Amino acid sequence: MKTARLHKYNESLQLDEVDLPKPKGEGVTIRVGAAGVCHSDIHFMHGEWKDTLRVKLPITVGHETAGYVEEVGDSVQGLAKGDVVAVFGGWGCGICEFCKGGDEQLCISPKWPGLSEYDGGYAEYMHVPTYRFLVKAKGLDPKHVAPLTDAGLTPYRAVKKVRHLLNPNSFTLVFGVGGLGCYAIQYLKLLSPTSVISVVRNEAKARLAKEMGSDYIINSREEDVKSSLKKITGDHRVDVVLDMVSSKETLDTGIASLRKKGTLVLVGLMGNSFDLPIFRSVVNEYSVIASLWGNYNELGEVIGLYRTGRLKTPVSQFKLSEVGKAIENLEAGKIQGRAILVP
Ligand code: FEH
Ligand code: ZN
Ligand code: ZN
């Protein structure tokens, strides 16, 4: 089968022909319907995480996959060839306190596809070691389900962490309207009464933010974020900042925009560190939290929300063989919604 594999850090992926995995026991082979292209894949391919993830190359990249059951091992229950499935990507050991606590994406020894010894979804087929990592998505299109497994799931967990803080007078500031930000805006409007202010860097993203339901949009390339926020919120400032970028610039601006008892949520992974003003943070009782991906049950909730027809899933489609173009466009900030590879 065809796959897009990383052979060397900081080099382009190679389109290789490899043997199709044969599932044993609980294992399932999926025919890939679509594989989302995540910024994390780019960080990984650049070798930024090689000392932490210690992946043996070559590896098929991709941790945001959906498709069709192709073949099942003899211990698999409740799945048959042709079933549409979403691949929960936060694969864990199943026995540590975090796996047992239901947050497998926080496992102490993660085995994420495309980011560990397990090959990911940039391929025609993908081997999933146990059917317990699959969520049924009967009747749904994998091209729209794949992004839900990461771009959709990650902001969902983050919004669930803060929605109890929001009321009709609240303002929530969202940095970044890329693959994840599109969903963050929608969840904030669907799951809370807050007004949403989105910070974007170009007109195309401004239009997308509006389409996703953002109440206010600030184009940071054309206006000063702080003074625009003052115009929008007056002296209220913002209750919550959802940073889907997490660069030093967005985090410094975000913490400076918080109101008393405000909460900053780090979700993106673009930066390395930022300055937390100690005096201001303490006297205002700021909360600074982070949120990683989502758990298996939360993925089921996201798919359930999508099934209601209330969730838009903007995608930019590329052939698997166009993976280089997809990555180039993502790095240039030219992707609207989520880039997906369709074998
Ligand atoms: C990937 C690698 C490391 C941390 C977080 C991620 C996310 O893209 C998973 O959604
Ligand atoms: Zn990701
Ligand atoms: Zn574990």
Q: Domains for the chain: give ranges and CATH numbers.
A: 2-149+294-342 (3.90.180.10), 153-290 (3.40.50.720)
Residue of 38, 55, 107 best suited for mutating to test ligand 1, as the one with most atoms within 8 Å of CB: 38
**Residue of 4, 24, 55 whose CA lies nearest to 127:** 24
Which atom of ligand 1 sits closest to the CA of residue 105?
Answer: 9
The two tokens of residue 112 are 């994420």
Measured in angstroms, how far is the CA atom of residue 22 from the centroid of ligand 2?
26
Q: Give me the residues near ligand 2 (ion), CB cutoff below 5 Å.
A: 38, 40, 150
- What are the pLDDT tens digits along the chain (343 aa)? 999 999 999 999 999 999 987 999 999 999 999 999 999 999 999 999 999 998 999 999 999 999 999 999 999 999 999 999 999 999 999 999 999 999 999 999 999 999 999 999 999 999 999 999 999 999 999 999 999 999 999 999 999 999 999 999 999 999 999 999 999 999 999 999 999 999 999 999 999 999 999 999 999 999 999 999 999 999 999 999 999 999 999 999 999 999 999 999 999 999 999 999 999 999 999 999 999 999 999 999 999 999 999 999 999 999 999 999 999 999 999 999 999 999 9
pLDDT at 233: 98
Whether pTM exceeds 0.95: yes
Question: Does 64 contact ligand 1 (Cβ within 6 A)?
Answer: no
Measured in angstroms, how far is the CA atom of residue 131 from the centroid of ligand 2?
21
pLDDT at 87: 99
